[in-house]
Amino acid sequence: IFVLLTIWKTKKFHRPMYYFIGNLALSDLLAGVAYILNLLFSGANTYKLTPAQWFLREGSMFVALSASVFSLLAIAIERYITMLKMKLHNESNSSRSFLLISACWVISLVLGGLPIMGWNCVNALPSCSTVLPLYHKHYILFCTTVFTGLLLSIVILYCRIYSLVRTRSRRLTFRKNVSKASRSS
């Protein structure tokens, strides 16, 4: 909450990277709330839930957690683009950041809502997951594949950022050494 309030109240934090950090804070806050609600409606309370309520309970966790992972990916994308262009602030960054943040939430809502929209095993019990009983095994596999792909993409982007920084650092060091050598001649 403090991160969100600080970004909202402090004018110098009204920059795209801080919007991404705020989005990550918001998605993590919502993940915490969803987890608490999940705990409150678990155990013996699970048996009192209708399938739609169960899908909402579990889907809210999927939405919040996927929004968090998508936010991490959006931060990595923004940092990578910034490193490529070597510009920290410009007008296209704001529209790009809001587009990425919106995409994070739309995709997360779709991903979390797929079971309640029909990708479940209510009418095909042998296809049900053991851990999440009303979720279809193929849905669990799909989500696992998506999250693995997201995490690999984040790692690849940060490896590329490291490579760019390292290459540019070497160039700067080389230029400094060349200019020192030419001055001493």
**What confidence score (pLDDT) does residue 92 get?**
59
Residue 133 reports pLDDT greater than 80: yes
- 81-127 tens-digit pLDDT: 888 887 655 555 788 889 999 999 999 999 999 999 999 999 888 89
Domain coordinates in residue numbering, the chain: 2-184
Superfamily of 2-184 according to CATH: Rhodopsin 7-helix transmembrane proteins (1.20.1070.10)
Q: How far is residue 39 CA from its own chain's centroid?
A: 23
User: In Å, what is the CA distance from 162 to each residue of 52, 90, 169?
Assistant: 45, 23, 10
Contact between 51 and 122 (Cβ < 8 Å): yes
Single-letter amino acid code for the residue at 66: S
Whether residue 82 contacts residue 89, with contact meaning beta carbons closer than 8 Å, is answered with no
